[in-house]
């Protein structure tokens, strides 16, 4: 799986470099800050999910290239802002100084803003063979990263710090904060490949459950992982008095939930048969990962 993922990551990074090349003009520092975080590594999970969902539904990389790169830019912007002093106040990300440590808080805020803006620049300027599908995909992308998606989840998460919440409330937070752009990555892949509505719904069900399993594994790793493996401090959730699956369900209970949601995710792909092979393997890889 690692070899297969590496090949896909190389293609994705080539496209990211095409859409966000280095720039030598008076505002060069903003491009440097954007590229610093965008090319700091990472699993490129969301572009890979979009690509592989499109392939499963009969499409290919070129069908989703601008949206896959846009999604990675949106994800990266969210990490830059998450790390800011006003949010998680983290100094390390992927084993490197966070953007605000490297470039200063003001430039980090602007770099995040610029990545969000760039995402919609590249998706709106691209020449599509099927503009109708692209318009639908753009609406999915926008909603999933906004107040009814990632940003909304972040707000509810911030408001929940320092007080006890229920498991249902925690699940709601992460269905938006983490899960929304995982879901939209898969849905956009299906939409751009021209999948029918039943297939799009099945993909959405897969991604919804995968997003929950992925977040629970993240919560577990924040307790049992190492700073070297994760590339960031461990135990930060507890220090920030964040509600997590581990704090509500314990390690063993959380591991059971990972298994439960990953099985639901894989079950949702039954209709695709052998075409779902890569996504099934990727699901197992993600829920067993150490970083």
What is the pTM assigned to this prediction? 0.93
Report the alpha-carbon distance of residue 100 to residue 93 in Å, rounded: 11
- Do the beta carbons of residue 191 and residue 140 sit within 8 Å? yes
pLDDT of residue 289: 85
pLDDT tens, residue by residue, 52-101: 999 999 999 999 999 999 999 999 999 999 999 999 999 999 889 999 99
Token reading at 112: 């995040």
**CA distances in angstroms from 117 to 30, 124, 215, listed in the order given:** 13, 11, 26
**Closest-CA residue to 183 (of 255, 117, 191):** 191
pLDDT of residue 99: 98
pLDDT of residue 229: 54
- Residues constituting the chain: 291
Say how many domains are in the chain. Answer: 1
- Do the beta carbons of residue 235 and residue 165 sit within 8 Å? no
- Which CATH number does the domain housing residue 37 bear? 1.10.600.10
Report the alpha-carbon distance of residue 67 to residue 44 in Å, rounded: 13
**Closest-CA residue to 69 (of 31, 30, 123, 21):** 123
pLDDT of residue 224: 85
Beta bridge partners of 97: 92
Report the alpha-carbon distance of residue 16 to residue 35 in Å, rounded: 9
**What single DSSP character describes residue 276?**
G
Residue carrying the six token digits 């209970």: 253
Report the alpha-carbon distance of residue 51 to residue 192 in Å, rounded: 10
Radius of gyration of the chain (CA): 18
Q: Name the residue range of residue 133's domain.
A: 2-287
**Closest-CA residue to 109 (of 150, 80, 147, 71):** 80
Report the alpha-carbon distance of residue 99 to residue 40 in Å, rounded: 10
Report the alpha-carbon distance of residue 120 to residue 142 in Å, rounded: 9
Instruction: Say what angle helices 277-287 and 2-19 make with each other, to 10 degrees.
Output: 100
Residue ranges of alpha helices (H) inside 39-149 are 45-56, 61-82, 99-103, 105-125, 131-144
Which helix H or strand E contains 7, and what residues bound it? helix 2-19
**What single DSSP character describes residue 270?**
G
Give every residue of the chain whose pLDDT is below 50, as ranges: none
Residues whose CB falls within 8 Å of the CB of residue 6, separated by 6 or more in sequence, listed in order: none
- Do the beta carbons of residue 165 and residue 152 sit within 8 Å? no
């Amino acid at each position: 799986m690692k070899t297969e993922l590496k090949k896909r990551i190389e293609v994705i990074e080539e496209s990211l470099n095409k859409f966000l090349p280095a720039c030598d003009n008076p505002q060069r520092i903003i491009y440097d800050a954007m590229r610093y975080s965008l090319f700091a590594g990472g699993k490129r999970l969301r572009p890979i999910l979009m690509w592989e969902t499109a392939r499963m539904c009969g499409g290919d990389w070129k069908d989703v290239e601008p949206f896959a790169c846009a999604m990675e830019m949106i994800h990266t912007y969210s990490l830059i802002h998450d790390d800011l002093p006003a949010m998680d106040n983290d100094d390390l990300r992927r084993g490197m100084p966070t953007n605000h440590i490297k470039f200063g808080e003001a430039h980090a805020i602007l770099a995040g803003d610029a990545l969000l803006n760039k995402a919609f620049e590249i998706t709106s300027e691209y020449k599509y063979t099927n503009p109708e599908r692209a318009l639908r995909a753009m609406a999915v992308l926008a909603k999933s990263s906004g107040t009814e998606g990632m940003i909304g989840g972040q707000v509810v998460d911030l408001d929940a710090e320092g007080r006890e919440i229920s498991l249902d409330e925690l699940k709601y937070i992460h269905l938006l904060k983490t899960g929304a752009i995982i879901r939209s990555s898969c849905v956009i892949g299906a939409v751009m490949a021209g999948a029918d509505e039943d297939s799009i719904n099945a993909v959405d069900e897969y991604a919804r459950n995968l997003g929950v399993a992925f977040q629970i594994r993240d919560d577990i790793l924040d307790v049992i992982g190492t700073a070297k493996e994760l590339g960031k401090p461990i135990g930060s959730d507890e220090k920030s008095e964040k509600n997590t699956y581990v704090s509500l369900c314990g390690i063993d209970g959380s591991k059971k939930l990972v298994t439960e949601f990953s099985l639901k995710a894989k079950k949702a792909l039954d209709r695709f048969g052998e075409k779902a092979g890569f996504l099934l393997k990727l699901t197992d890889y993600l829920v067993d990962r150490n970083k």
